[in-house]
């Protein structure tokens, strides 16, 4: 791929360009990231979001930090640590920074050559993600085909929560990758898109991605999923993940847990799609130990949208004196997950199956 992906790419000076995910779908603009500070800001303010992309941006961020450090390795290590701490839940961020640091510590190169080596490593990480998402697409579409055959249905209805498409991980996504592949295979597919309050990644990003790809979809309020599942209007639920523990417990966008409960109650397959870089093999119990980000209450109290004159505005929707609480993620216990859809195939969500399939990475 050589550093050119759909949601991020390198410009002619080897700065990082990213699609600004805060203003989609109403505006398609890019942001240029040239140093550590800009990397951290882009991750914190969610110019870029989605576990995989955050990891990629962090990887390129370490290369930019090296360029900025002028051979001062201590400064570089300090800057890399700042990037590593920019968001707490998605583990791809820590994974990518650690891998970049390993390259740095194993290298005997200096200055420009070291910077070049780190740039190449960041590209390699992103290229590997592309390969992983392509495999996830194939395995996921196989499952869709299998369910369709068994149940003799014409249209396959999938429900997804948040955005785990190519905006979230290069270059096809995780949860959306099988959907794109199923469409390519000629399957009639329809996606229920949870709006995903408070930041509306479903309404703003997933719906945008799906319409660009010509995939039939309908945006629903987050509270609608249970009713649809109860009324046989959902054949499968598939979401991405921000961190999956050794026991299969999976952290994903807030609200995912409720969808999994409803899927279980209605006997609907519930899959989590993830590349192996989203596993946190050191966390043994996800419900107990995965750190959950708490973000600003303003994300709950304000909404951004287009007014009737076509102007993009932010609106307050809660009275000023009421406090709000904004957990970014929740953890779906492994017992509610039908399978973990990975680049190595479908893995049962339990410690034995995960340990066996990913033994070499643990």
Q: Which residues here bind ligand RI2, judged by CB under 6 A?
A: 49-52, 162, 164, 168-169, 173-174, 201, 239-242, 252-253, 274, 278, 328
Q: Which residue, 67 or 209, is less far from ligand RI2 as judged by CB?
A: 209
Question: Which residue in the list 129, 222, 235, 242 is annotated as catalytic?
Answer: 242
Give the residue nearest to ligand RI2 (CB): 240
Nearer to ligand RI2, 178 or 240 (CB): 240
Cα separation, 164 vs 293, in Å, equals 18
Instruction: Tell me whether residue 57 or residue 119 sits nearer to ligand RI2 (CB atom).
Output: 57
Looking at the Cβ atoms of 86 and 278, the one nearer to ligand RI2 is: 278
Give the Cβ contact number of residue 23 at 10 Å: 15
Active site residue 127: no
Indicate the residue among 103 and 239 with the shorter CB distance to ligand RI2.
239
In the bound state with ligand RI2, the residue whose beta carbon lies nearer, of 63 and 257, is 257
- Which residues are within 8 A (CB) of 128 and not within 5 positions of it... i.e. 6 or more apart? none
Name, in order, each residue with C-beta under 8 angstroms of 216's C-beta and a sequence gap of 6 or more: 188, 189, 190, 191, 210
For ligand RI2, give the closer residue by CB, 76 or 96.
96
Largest CA distance in the chain: 63
What gap in Å lies between CA 43 and CA 233, rounded to an integer? 36
Which neighbouring-strand residues pair with 158? 191, 236
Tokens of 108: 């005997």
What is the nearest approach in angstroms of ligand RI2 to the Cβ of residue 90?
Answer: 6
Residues belonging to the active site: 242
């Amino acid at each position: 791929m050589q550093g050119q992906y759909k949601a991020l790419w390198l410009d002619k000076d080897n700065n990082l360009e990213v699609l600004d995910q805060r203003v989609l779908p109403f505006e398609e603009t890019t942001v240029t990231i040239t140093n550590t500070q800009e990397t951290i800001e882009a991750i914190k303010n969610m110019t870029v979001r989605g576990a995989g992309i955050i990891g990629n941006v962090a990887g390129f961020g370490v290369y930019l930090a090296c360029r900025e450090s002028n051979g001062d390795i201590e400064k570089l290590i300090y800057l890399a640590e700042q990037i590593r701490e920019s968001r707490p839940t998605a583990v791809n961020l820590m994974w990518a920074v650690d891998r970049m640091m390993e390259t740095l510590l194993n290298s005997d190169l200096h200055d420009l050559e070291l910077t070049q080596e780190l740039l190449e490593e960041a590209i390699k990480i992103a290229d590997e993600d592309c390969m992983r998402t392509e495999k996830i697409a194939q395995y996921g579409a196989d499952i869709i085909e299998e369910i369709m055959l068994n149940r003799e249905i014409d249209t396959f209805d999938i429900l997804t929560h948040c955005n785990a498409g190519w905006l979230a991980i290069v270059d096809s996504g995780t949860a959306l990758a099988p959907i794109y592949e199923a469409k390519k295979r000629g399957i009639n597919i329809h996606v229920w898109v949870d709006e995903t309050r408070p930041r509306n990644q479903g309404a703003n990003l997933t719906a945008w991605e799906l319409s660009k790809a010509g995939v039939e979809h309908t945006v629903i309020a987050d509270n609608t999923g249970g009713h649809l599942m109860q009324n046989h209007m959902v054949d499968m639920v598939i979401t991405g993940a921000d961190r999956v523990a050794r026991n299969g417990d999976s952290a994903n966008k807030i609200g995912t847990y409720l969808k999994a409960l409803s899927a279980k109650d209605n006997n609907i397959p519930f899959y989590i799609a993830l590349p192996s870089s989203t596993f946190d093999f050191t966390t043994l119990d996800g419900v107990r130990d995965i750190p959950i980000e708490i973000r600003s209450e303003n994300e709950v109290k304000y909404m951004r949208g287009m007014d009737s004159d076509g102007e993009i505005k932010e609106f307050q929707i809660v009275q000023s004196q009421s406090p709000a609480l904004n957990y970014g993620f929740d953890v779906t216990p492994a017992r509610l997950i039908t399978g973990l859809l990975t680049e190595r195939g479908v893995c049962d969500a339990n410690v034995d199956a995960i340990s066996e399939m990913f033994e070499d990475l643990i």
